[in-house]
A and B are shown apart, each in its own frame.
Chain A
Amino acid sequence: MRKLILAAAVIALPANAALADSYTIDPEHTFPNFTVSHLGFSTMHGRFDKSSGKLNLDIPKKTGSVEIVIDATSVDTAHAKRDQHLKSPDFFNAAEFPEIKFKSTKVTFTGDKVTSVDGDLTIMKTTKPVTLTVTSMLCAVHAMSKKNVCGFDATTKIKRSDFGINYALPAIGDEVALTLEVEALKD
């Protein structure tokens, strides 16, 4: 019995140690994306191809922080002309405001899992508080790369007009569902 407990502790220790560290967002597996109503006919999907940031998690202490910087010029809706318009001053004004930022202010745990993240979202220099609902999360050793990885999916809803993106309201929906699908590698 003593050997069994010792073995369990040996297995558990590296994992816990890994989870108490900082992580750097893996841009190859991190794609913030959004959906918005297109004139009420359908729901349009778009994503940002470039993002960066840091993730800090201390699961035993139930604390953490997330900071993500999204490159607004990387918006991608699988339609070049529409992407060009989304980058223009009508929408993200990416030449003038190339970065969209999310910085957490509070990470809420239920058990060992993060269930929500409160933070400030900044689009075009306008900062508003938002709450991300974390729908899934896993911190573990990557089966192939053998690196410590933390990943999560989180969603929130914002009103684009709150951030000064008023073009074509109300035809193109004001409410935008924002989803962050994030993977981060342990530093």
Chain B
Amino acid sequence: MTNLFDFPEVQSFVLPLLAALLVGAAAQRFSLANHGIGMIAGFIVTVLFVNGVELQPLTAARKIILLGIAAAMVGAIVDQRGARWPGRPLYFAALSVLASAWVLGIVLLRKSGMEMLTAGIGIAAYTAWITYWLERLHDDELRATSATVSLGLGTGIAAIIGASGLFGQLAVAVSAGSGGVMLLALLQKKNSAGSVLTFSAGVLLGLIGCTAVAFADLPWIVLVVLSLIPLAARWTPTPASWPRWLQVAFLTISTLALAGIALAYAWYLAGSSSYS
């Protein structure tokens, strides 16, 4: 008999959404952390299903999981201390570049000369860009979660089109977890998403996008379109007089539109050939 928990949709969408709602609400209720922590809780639930607790061999996917959790811990500490230094997005972007070197360095070293250089610059630039711009949204929960919901969904489905179900499930889990945090945000006044959400989502989605290109067969150009999502979330105008649900709807539509363009392009480039 097929177990309900064997379905990827349950593992990567339903369960992380529920976990994010529960953990996010509990964290906020007991003042333990910003409810952005719900996103990483949802992500961890998915990890337990698709990877378990096994860390050996330490593959790129497992490194990304560890880095995402570490980034959430750093983000939570920074949130708790109320650190507000202006260069925080830049520092976090620099850390994400180091993270990308750890995850993808082994693959880059197998490439030669110019190919290694261009791939290395591309990976570092994409990871830093995503981390930087998501972190710039940490003060605005609606914009941050709109960006991470759409970027997670776009990255995840693009990874699946690029032939990696594993990376697809991990990215969709970030999207679903962010969705749970977004639902909690709708019930409150303007709140901070916190670096616990933005830094960890930046590291996770930046690295998953790059590994889907390097390890599977996702074209680089898809990442270029996805990289516009945090910018759309930041600059889409939503008057404060609007109800929060309308602001979220408007922001999510604008960011999902970009994800849709990226996915349509990925689908087009992948060709019509499919299998199951």
A46-54, A87-95, A135-143: which lies at the B interface? A87-95
State in angstroms the CA–CA spacing of A48 and B54 once bound together. Answer: 28
Chain B neighbourhood of A96, CB < 8 A:
59-60, 106-107, 215
Which DSSP category, helix, strand, loop or mixed, fits chain B's interface?
loop
By size class, the interface of chain A is: 20 to 34
State in angstroms the CA–CA spacing of A88 and B61 once bound together. Answer: 11
| B166 beta carbon closer than 8 Å to chain A | yes
| A89 lies within 8 A of B215 (CB) | yes
| A113 beta carbon closer than 8 Å to chain B | no
Contact A85:B59 (CB < 8 A) given known A80-B273, A93-B215, A96-B107:
no
| B214 beta carbon closer than 8 Å to chain A | yes
| B163 beta carbon closer than 8 Å to chain A | yes
| B215 lies within 8 A of A84 (CB) | no
Chain B neighbourhood of A88, CB < 8 A:
162-166, 215-217
Chain B neighbourhood of A93, CB < 8 A:
59-60, 215
Chain A neighbourhood of B60, CB < 8 A:
89, 93, 96
By size class, the interface of chain B is: 20 to 34
| A95 lies within 8 A of B57 (CB) | no
State in angstroms the CA–CA spacing of A97 and B166 once bound together. Answer: 16
Select from chain A the residue with minimum beta-carbon distance to B61.
A89
Select from chain A the residue with minimum beta-carbon distance to B54.
A164
| A57 beta carbon closer than 8 Å to chain B | no
Chain A neighbourhood of B107, CB < 8 A:
95-96
State in angstroms the CA–CA spacing of A81 and B274 once bound together. Answer: 6
Contact A81:B57 (CB < 8 A) given known A88-B216, A93-B215:
no
| A125 beta carbon closer than 8 Å to chain B | yes
Interface hub of A87, A88, A93, A97 (most chain B Cβ within 10 A)? A88
State in angstroms the CA–CA spacing of A126 and B163 once bound together. Answer: 23
Interface residues of A in 121-166 (CB under 8 A from B): 124-126, 164
Residues of A within 8 A of B (CB): 79-82, 84-85, 87-90, 93, 95-98, 124-126, 164, 167-168
Residues of B within 8 A of A (CB): 54, 57, 59-61, 106-107, 110, 162-167, 211, 214-217, 270, 273-275
Given contacts A95-B214, A96-B59, 6 further A-B contacts (CB under 8 A): A81-B274, A88-B217, A93-B59, A93-B215, A96-B215, A167-B165
